[in-house]
Structure 1
Amino acid sequence: MTPDALRAELLKPWRHGEHFDGHGLRVDAALDLSGRRLRGFDLSEARFAKTVDASQAELLGLAWFQKARFDASLRLAGATCRFDLRLEEIECPTLDLTGLRMEGVLWLDDARVGKLILTDAVLLANLSLARAEIGEIEAKNLEIMGGIWTHDANLDLTPFRDAHIEGRV
């Protein structure tokens, strides 16, 4: 699918109970969704050859990237997610969530991420990192209101020492 065609689908008005089903699609060029209001989507098992940039975007419904492969970075810096962000089993060299506002759960179970940036992010629910493999983490000024789950994760928890975590650790 071309980036323009996918962008057109995601920019359609959000309606409760509806979402774009892009399960398994392949996007070979960079996808710029920055600053946009995006309807719900399921991009599970999708493959992105270039950077996906949804910085400053507002994700209004489903936001599913389960088992997606990112050959370049996924950027959600300054974005707002109104529901859960499902990133389970993704492969991504750099996941930039700087300044993200998460109103649902941030799911990264079984993810393989080279660098995870959570600096200045506010997570109003849980952060789940079960069995995740993350090479480097930046988490300055991170706030997690619902707790963090790291069961069997392969990651350095040191960057979380200065995070404000309200729930279970």
Structure 2
Amino acid sequence: MAAADIRAALSRPHRHGTHSSFVGETCDGPLDLSGLTLSGVDFSGAIFPEGLDARGATFEGLSWFSRVTFGADARFAGATFASDARFEDAAFAGSADFEGTDFRGIARFDRARVSGDLRMRGITCNGNLSFEAARIAGAADLSQAEFMGGLWLQDVGFPAGTAFADTQIHGRLWLRGGHVGNRVLRPADFDMAYGYAWT
């Protein structure tokens, strides 16, 4: 499907309870959604061979990116997800850039695979953010982030040197089976965790 047609469909005014479906589609060309206000969308199983640019975009409805394949960088820096953002089982061949992104619902990256860098410096998440069994091959930065609904890191594999400086976790911090490099994740890796921690 042509990138321009996807952009046009998502630029229609959002109506609560509705979404555009691009399940299993392959995007022809790089998809540029930067700065747009977008309706709800289901991209489950879609393929973006040339990546996606949604920097500064506002996703007004539920956003499904489950099982999506990004063949190049996925850029979501400064985006706003007004509802839940689902990236479980997503494959990022390049970098996954969410720096400064505002997640107002939950954010799920369970079993995601990031071949490049993961950039989440300065994000906020009102719901729970989950990285269960995710694997990051490049560098990872979760510094200066704030997780209002807790952080779930069951069996995650972060690279050595992952940055957590000045990150705040309000609520549950779940670390069981999680690693950074070849050592286990510890509550002490996070400067400020206000709830219970499970290790």
Report the TM range for the smaller structure's normalisation.
over 0.9
Aligned-residue offset at 1:161: 4.7
Aligned to 2:153: 150
Q: Indicate the structure whose relative CO is greater, using CA pairs within 8 Å and at least 6 residues apart.
A: 1
Aligned to 1:138: 141
Aligned to 1:64: 64
Give the alignment of 1:5-154 within 5 angstroms. 5-92=5-92, 93-114=94-115, 115-135=117-137, 136-154=139-157
User: For residues 27-85 of structure 1, what are the alpha-carbon distances to aligned partners after superposition, in whole Å with 9 as ceiling and x for unaligned?
Assistant: 13111101100000000000001120111111000110100000101111111101111
Structure of larger gyration radius: 2
* Secondary structure at the counterpart of residue 4 of structure 1: helix
* Secondary structure at the counterpart of residue 61 of structure 2: coil
Worse overlay, 74-83 or 148-157? 148-157
Aligned-residue offset at 1:159: 1.9
> Could you tell me how far apart the structure 2 residues matched to 1:83 and 1:137 are?
24
Q: TM-score, normalised by structure 2?
A: 0.82
Aligned to 2:183: none
Moved over 6 A (4+): none
Do structure 1's residue 159 and structure 2's residue 163 form an aligned pair?
A: yes
Q: TM-score, normalised by structure 1?
A: 0.95
Aligned-residue offset at 1:160: 2.4
RMSD between superposed Cα atoms in Å: 1.3
> Could you tell me how far apart the structure 2 residues matched to 1:63 and 1:110 are?
17
Query: Is 2:143–2:165's contact at 8 Å kept on the other side of the alignment?
Result: no
> Could you tell me how far apart the structure 2 residues matched to 1:139 and 1:80 are?
17
> Could you tell me how far apart the structure 1 residues matched to 2:166 and 2:112 are?
23
* Secondary structure at the counterpart of residue 159 of structure 1: coil
Query: Is 2:64–2:86's contact at 8 Å kept on the other side of the alignment?
Result: yes
Pairs aligned (count): 169
* Secondary structure at the counterpart of residue 157 of structure 2: coil
User: For residues 102-144 of structure 1, what are the alpha-carbon distances to aligned partners after superposition, in whole Å with 9 as ceiling and x for unaligned?
Assistant: 1011100010013211011111111100011112211221111
Aligned-residue offset at 1:88: 0.3
> Could you tell me how far apart the structure 2 residues matched to 1:140 and 1:109 are?
20
